[in-house]
Chains A and B, each alone.
Chain A
Amino acid sequence: MDYLKFFRVLVLLKLFVVSNGVLAMGITDAGKVCLFSKMEGVIKLDGKPVANAKLVRTVNLTKDETDETVTDENGNFKFNAIFKRTVTKFLPMEFVSNQDVWVIYKGKEYRIWSSIKREPDENSESQGKPFVVECELNSEERIFKVDGSPVFTLCTWDVVPDKKINILKSLERAERAKN
């Protein structure tokens, strides 16, 4: 009997914790958005890791915010994720936030990352996977979309770019539908 009582209390306690947890999460997470996911990787120049290169990162949801880091002797760097609590309103709004990373090395500036983040989730840059990049300063900038977010970059990472829309196919489909 006592055991049963204890069990009941335990269940109640658990329910209480769970429900509080849910409530707490609901309140704290509402309006929390990720402006830049944790980014780590290596900076290379002509295939060789670059030590002591300065990286400057800028995010902009409503105003510019900048932070910096420096590569270690193996060319590695790490930026922590940036979250922001937004004054969310009850009406939905599109998430649109700028991201830029520049590398400053031997007096030269390289833009290794420039994107408009269109999803508020963490790791949206890498489709949910850890965001680990390899950036070659001497490469040609590539432009593509990742789940709707435009990206300009000198880096490679584990990601599948969006397929480009086939404008001619779309026009043909529209013509066919009319006839």
Chain B
Amino acid sequence: MNEFPVDLAALAAQEAYALTRFNTSEQAIRYLNTEYGEVFTFSQENMLKGRSGGPFFIKCRTAFGFTLLGKGVFEGHAFILFRGTEYLADILTDLNISVSSSSTGKPVHDGFNKSFKSMESQLISFMSSTEMKSVHSIHCIGHSLGGALATVCGDWIQNTYKRKPYIYSFGCPRVGLYGFASRCTSSIGADRIYRAYHKTDIVPCIPPWPFIHTPNTGTDYYLWSPGMIPMGEYHKMKNYVASVTDQTWESISNFNDITRDETSIGNWLKDTSFVGLTMSSLEWLNQALLFVLKKCFDGMAWLISETFSTSFTLIDQLAYILNKGIDLASAVSDWVLYLIKKILQVIGMKDDVEMAELSVKFIRMVLQNLQMRVNRYAKDALSKAMVDGRGI
């Protein structure tokens, strides 16, 4: 075995919450031995203390993760488990989302990056511990924010130690921009990054573009969940555990039937039939934006997205790029117009705009409006779930 089976990965992500809460590490060890038949031992630095909170307010300092070494059937494996946080909302829906540089210099969500960095020194001592010398496989596992931290951690391990870890996430939000996703995916390998998510889990939908998922290529581990509306309920780790019971990575990799190639994205953009604000239209829009950005600068956009300056918000820069695209060839400006019209439709505004009206200011307004609507959409879906007494 090299990769960790899906049901065990889900259990590990779930246990990260309890393991970081036991009164003593002695209790955690006894628990693991009883439940998991002595297949883990503990490294010296097993509790990863970290910080999370909104970009402006660093909140409490609590154990955020857990490091384990395998024995018996898991001899030679190391596990870094991350838990989620109650401050996820602050981190994800802040309208002033900023990006900062990952360990590889790529744009990653500032909140995730800060949380990870607060644990970095402990991870360094774990990685350099003597036991780690005989380890051949490192597994980074987490749910929710924990999944984002596992992704950032995996990227850091690859860059710092030139080792290819495995990353497993459940209900993971979007971690970074294209530059990060692409670099992380190609350097670690899409086949080592396992991102599982429920169809109606809201968290993987945010933050809105230009944040994208890692890996950005390879297999999707898409789990069925009831309904069409994103909810809090299917973000819960216990539902992920239930969905992957008796499954394998192979068996859940077949569940995604949506594939979008450039032709179908183009057709979707040109299509004049009505689209509303739904999960599916947001997914389309996401891909359409990347498609149009690519057309705009064809490489140049990626360069910009990798060197985002902190003095401008993402939306400022996107508006700038799209506006520049209009001045390029007419083939490109048509796509920008299609995209803006589509966004206007999705957010329920009149879409009878002319090319000449697409100033930076106008595009910026449209993008900001979309971002606000997406965040509100997420909030509505979730407060509904909360009033039903669920999703807390």
Judge if A145 is at the interface, Cβ distance under 8 Å: yes
CA A120 to CA B241, docked complex, whole Å: 18
Task: Give, as a whole number of angstroms, the nearest-CB distance from B155 to chain A.
Answer: 24
A residues less than 8 Å from B8 (CB atoms): 165, 167, 170
Q: A24-49: which have CB < 8 Å to B? A: 26-27, 29-31, 33
Q: Does the CB pair A152–B18 fall under 8 Å?
A: no
B residues less than 8 Å from A120 (CB atoms): 392
CA A143 to CA B26, docked complex, whole Å: 13
Q: Which residue of A lies closest to B11 (CB)?
A: A165
Q: Which residue of B lies closest to A166 (CB)?
A: B37
Task: Give, as a whole number of angstroms, the nearest-CB distance from A92 to chain B.
Answer: 3
Given contacts A171-B73, A174-B249, contact A91 B241 (CB under 8 A): no
Task: Give, as a whole number of angstroms, the nearest-CB distance from A3 to chain B.
Answer: 38
Q: Which residue of B lies closest to A175 (CB)?
A: B1
Against A, the Cβ 8 Å flags (1 = close, 0 = not) of B92-117 are: 11000000000000000000000000
Number of residues of chain B lying within 8 A (CB) of chain A? 57
One of B182-190, B230-238, B331-339 at the interface: B230-238
Given contacts A26-B387, A92-B232, contact A118 B27 (CB under 8 A): no
Q: Name B5's contact: one of A98, A114, A173 (CB within 8 Å).
A: A173
Among A30, A145, A175, chain B packs the most CB atoms within 10 A around the CB of A30
B residues less than 8 Å from A86 (CB atoms): 392
A residues less than 8 Å from B27 (CB atoms): 114, 152
Q: Does the CB pair B30–A143 fall under 8 Å?
A: yes
Q: Does the CB pair A90–B23 fall under 8 Å?
A: no
CA A143 to CA B392, docked complex, whole Å: 27
CA A33 to CA B391, docked complex, whole Å: 11
Cross-chain pair count, CB within 8 angstroms? 127
B residues less than 8 Å from A4 (CB atoms): none
Judge if B248 is at the interface, Cβ distance under 8 Å: yes
Q: A128-179: which have CB < 8 Å to B? A: 143-145, 148-150, 152, 164-165, 167-168, 170-171, 173-178
Judge if B17 is at the interface, Cβ distance under 8 Å: yes
A residues less than 8 Å from B36 (CB atoms): 164-165, 167
Q: B209-254: which have CB < 8 Å to A? A: 232-233, 235-238, 241, 246, 248-251
CA A100 to CA B21, docked complex, whole Å: 12
Judge if A80 is at the interface, Cβ distance under 8 Å: no
Q: Does the CB pair B248–A89 fall under 8 Å?
A: no
Q: Does the CB pair A89–B89 fall under 8 Å?
A: yes
Against A, the Cβ 8 Å flags (1 = close, 0 = not) of B79-93 are: 000011110111011
Q: Does the CB pair B238–A93 fall under 8 Å?
A: no
B residues less than 8 Å from A30 (CB atoms): 383, 386-387, 389
Given contacts A86-B392, A93-B392, contact A167 B236 (CB under 8 A): no
Judge if A96 is at the interface, Cβ distance under 8 Å: yes
Q: Which residue of B lies closest to A61 (CB)?
A: B86
Q: Name A94's contact: one of B37, B84, B93, B385 (CB within 8 Å).
A: B84
CA A101 to CA B20, docked complex, whole Å: 19
Given contacts A31-B386, A98-B23, A174-B1, contact A91 B17 (CB under 8 A): no
Given contacts A91-B89, A143-B30, contact A148 B21 (CB under 8 A): no
Judge if B305 is at the interface, Cβ distance under 8 Å: no
Judge if B277 is at the interface, Cβ distance under 8 Å: no
Q: Does the CB pair A90–B89 fall under 8 Å?
A: yes
Against A, the Cβ 8 Å flags (1 = close, 0 = not) of B238-275 are: 10010000101111000000000000000000000000
Q: Does the CB pair A88–B39 fall under 8 Å?
A: no
B residues less than 8 Å from A149 (CB atoms): 18
CA A61 to CA B389, docked complex, whole Å: 18
B residues less than 8 Å from A93 (CB atoms): 84-86, 88-89, 392
Footprint of A on B, CB under 8 Å? 1, 3, 5-8, 11, 14, 17-18, 21-23, 27, 30-31, 34-37, 39, 73, 83-86, 88-90, 92-93, 143-144, 202-203, 232-233, 235-238, 241, 246, 248-251, 378-379, 382-383, 385-387, 389, 391-392
5 A-B interface contacts by CB (under 8 A): A92-B392, A116-B17, A118-B18, A143-B30, A171-B5
- Given pairs A30-B383, A143-B35, A177-B249, 4 additional interface contacts (CB within 8 A): A94-B84, A164-B36, A174-B3, A177-B250
